[in-house]
Amino acid sequence: MDRVHDLQSVFRKVLLSMSRPGVISSITDEAAKVNLSSPCYSGTLLVALMLLDTEVSFCAVSSRAAELAHLLGSLTYAKSKPCHDADYIFVLADASGEARDAALTAAKIGLLTHPHRAATVIMEAQQIVDGEGLVLRGPGIQSEHKVAIQAAGEWVGIRAEQNREYPLGVDLIFLDAAARLICIPRTTTIEECR
C-alpha cells in the first residue's frame, strides 16, 4: 500500500460521498492492498489511516475494541478516548445494537460557536444497497436518494435526536465488508419508507 497515493484516493472518495450523501464510493482497490490483519474491515482501516494522527482522538466499539485501539494507536499515534470525547468513533460489525446505540448517543455534537468539534462516527454495516430503503434529501442531493443500510441498532432515530439542533450534530460514514462506503453528514434528512 502506498500511504501517500492510496490514502489520497481514499480521501477523495470519502469527500465525494460526504458531499453527495447516498452516493456509494468504492475503495475496494485500495483495500485489496492492505496486508495487515485487523479486527475491522480493510476499508475501515483505510479510512482510519486517512483520518487519524497524533492531533486527534478515537474510540473503538467492538468486542475487540482493545485490539483495534492498540493497532490504530501504533499505526497513527492517535489517542484513545472514551466515546463522549472522541473525535472519531469506530463502530465495528460485531458491535451489538445496544453498544452501537450507546456510542451514537454519547458522541459529541459540537458547540454552537464550534459545530465542527463534533464526532464523526464510522459504522461498519452488513450491507449497503443503492436505490431502495431510506430516502435521503438535503445539500449534496439533487432531489432525493434512496439507500438501504443494514446495520444493527436504531441509528436513524438516535441520529435524528442528536442532530435536531442544526448546526450541532454528528456525521456518519458507513462501510461494508466489500469496502464500499457512503456518508451521511448532519445536513441530510432521512425519511424511512414503510
Partner 1 sequence: MNIYYNFAYFDEGSKQEIRRAILKAVAIPGFQVPFASREMPIARGWGTGGLQLTLALIGRSDILKVIDQGCDESVNAVSIKRLVTKTTGVDITDITERATIIQSRHRIPEVPLTTDQILVLQVPIPEPLRHYEPSEMATQKLHAEQEYSGAWLMLFEQIMHYRHMSTGADHPVLVHNRYVMAPSPIPRYDNPKLNYSPALVLLGAGREKKVYAVPPYTQVVSLAFQDFPFRVENFSGKTCRLCGYAAAYLDELVDDTTGTTFFQCNDTSYCFKRRNETAL
Partner 2 sequence: MAYVAVKGGAQAIEASIRRLKFERLKRGRVLGVPEALAGLRSLIDQVMSEGSLYCEALAALAIKQAEGSPEEAVFVLRAYRSTLPRKYYSKTIEPQAMEVERRISASFKDIPGGQILGSSPDYTHRMLDLTLLDESDVSVGLWLREFTALPAATAGNEAASLRALPKVAQYLREQQLLPHYLPDDTPPADVTKQSVQFPTTRSQRLQMLTRGQTGAVTALAYAALRGYGGQHPTVGELRVGQVPVYVDDPLQAEAADGEAYYLGQVKVTEVEALVVKSAGKNAQKKSLTFALGYGLCLGQNETKAIAMSVLDQCLEAGDPQYPTHNEEFVLMHIDSVEATGFISHLKLPHYVTFQSKLDSIRRTSDRLAEAAKECAP
Q: Which residues are CB-contacts of 157 (< 8 A; sequence separation ≥ 6)? A: none
The residue count for binding partner 2 (CB under 8 A) is 5
CB of 18 within 8 A of CB of 172? no
Q: Is 74 in the site for partner 2 (CB under 8 A)?
A: yes
Residues with Cβ within 8 Å of 123's Cβ and at least 6 positions away in sequence, in order, are: 91, 100, 151, 155, 172, 173, 174, 175
Residues 110-169 contacting partner 1, CB under 8 A: 111-116, 118, 120, 139-142, 166-167
Collect all residues with Cβ–Cβ distance below 8 Å to 93 and sequence separation of at least 6: 40, 41, 124, 125, 126, 177
Residues 136-165 touching partner 2, rule: CB under 8 A, are: none
Shortest Cβ distance from residue 138 to partner 2 (Å)? 28
| Using rule CB under 8 A, residue 73 touches partner 1 | no
Q: Does 55 bind partner 2 (CB under 8 A)?
A: yes
| Distance (Å, whole) CA 80 – CA 68 | 10
By CB under 8 A, the residues from 36 to 65 that bind partner 1 are 50-56
- In the chain the first and final C-alpha atoms are separated, in Å, by 43
Residues that bind partner 2 (CB under 8 A): 54-55, 74, 77, 114
Binding residues (CB under 8 A) for partner 1: these are: 3-5, 7-9, 11-12, 14-15, 18-20, 50-56, 111-116, 118, 120, 139-142, 166-167, 171, 185-187
